[in-house]
Amino acid sequence: MKKKKFLLLILLTTTLFYSCETNTEDLTTDPILDPQEDPVLNSNLSFEEVYTFEDDLLGGPYMGMTYSPIDNNLFISCRENKPSGTTTEEEVFKLNLDSYLLTRRNVSPGGGFITKQLTLINDTLVSIGGTEFKFYDTNFEYAGNKSYFNPNCWSSDPNCFGLSKFGVATHNNDTYIIGGEKVIPTNLTTPVDRSNTKIRILRGDITGNLFEELAIETPETMIRASGAISNNKLYVFGGAIYDNISEGTNKIFIYPLDNSPNYEELSMTVSADITYVHKYGEIILIAGHKGLYVGEKTSFIGIFDTNTNTFEEIETNLDSEGGTKGIHQMIVKDDKIIVLFGHKAAPSFMVDAGAGLPQSKWSILSANLLDD
């Protein structure tokens, strides 16, 4: 089901997503301003609905979103809420922002209980999550997969693991994989440690070594915490701690990318179970919510000034509708902030049992970042 809003379509195609740049995945966005002007950010973001659709998807840490200026397409990834046997299918959506045509691809198996994040590398859409990458070509056709490890090691080697509930940061065609829980082979008889204090890089050349480990050791295993690169530093915001996965934190970690073991720890004025992060000029935008597993969902959007190392929350008109809805992804393009807003579906067995819980409904919302 979808809703078209033609006035917003005109707005989007002329001011929001117009770009002739190459399709790389450095999602740094610089304000579009007169060189003599300083950006004045809106202190209250007024979101408008661009598009809606329904699907039985899990939200929260399981969704990815990215944008391609080629053909003006928005991509969303997730895993289905309803399993097929012992796994759930991977679903990837392409929404063309000129025609509002929504195209869907299902790839099975998608892997059980895993995050799906998206990145664009040399015009190839790459889905990251579980034990492998999945690739989609420029025509949005499935183009195969590639394991992170030796394909035979998953069944017996505890050093082989899948990635779940991890965060990401993108910069110069590279994707940083931040923390997350290690999904360990289920047929191992000895206890294994699922914690993960490593930060890994997926380089733009995906034909070589797939992951490069940074020398950074995070002080704790961060769950669902995303970040951004600025001034040769990795900024990571919020998320939960592995030892207490249901409780969000307000932590900010700043890691130098010169292999120094030192890092800074700051704090936000709000705690978040999960964060979505995007660099915008000299500031970093952070969106997220708490209440992923317990309590009402409470979404927020904030800014972090990399010059002063200060965080400030921004008011919005987002309505959680009694704590049922929240932000599930965020990107920035051409002075607009775009969020995927809605709620994850109730577990399929509860819906099938007549519990009366709603199915997944998702909205693409847009707001101006700059004060006119």
Chain position carrying tokens 């890994």: 200
Whether 341 contacts 327, CB under 8 Å: yes
Q: Extract the tokens encoding 229.
A: 């690169």
Whether 351 contacts 359, CB under 8 Å: yes
- Ranges of the chain with pLDDT below 50: 1-27, 33-36, 112, 348-358
Whether 366 contacts 12, CB under 8 Å: yes
Phi and psi at residue 6, to the nearest 5°: -70, -30
pLDDT the model gives residue 352: 46
pLDDT the model gives residue 23: 35
* 3-state helix vs strand vs coil in the chain, percent to 5: 5, 50, 45
pLDDT the model gives residue 270: 92
pLDDT the model gives residue 181: 77
Architecture of domain 6-368: 6 Propeller (2.120)
pLDDT the model gives residue 2: 42
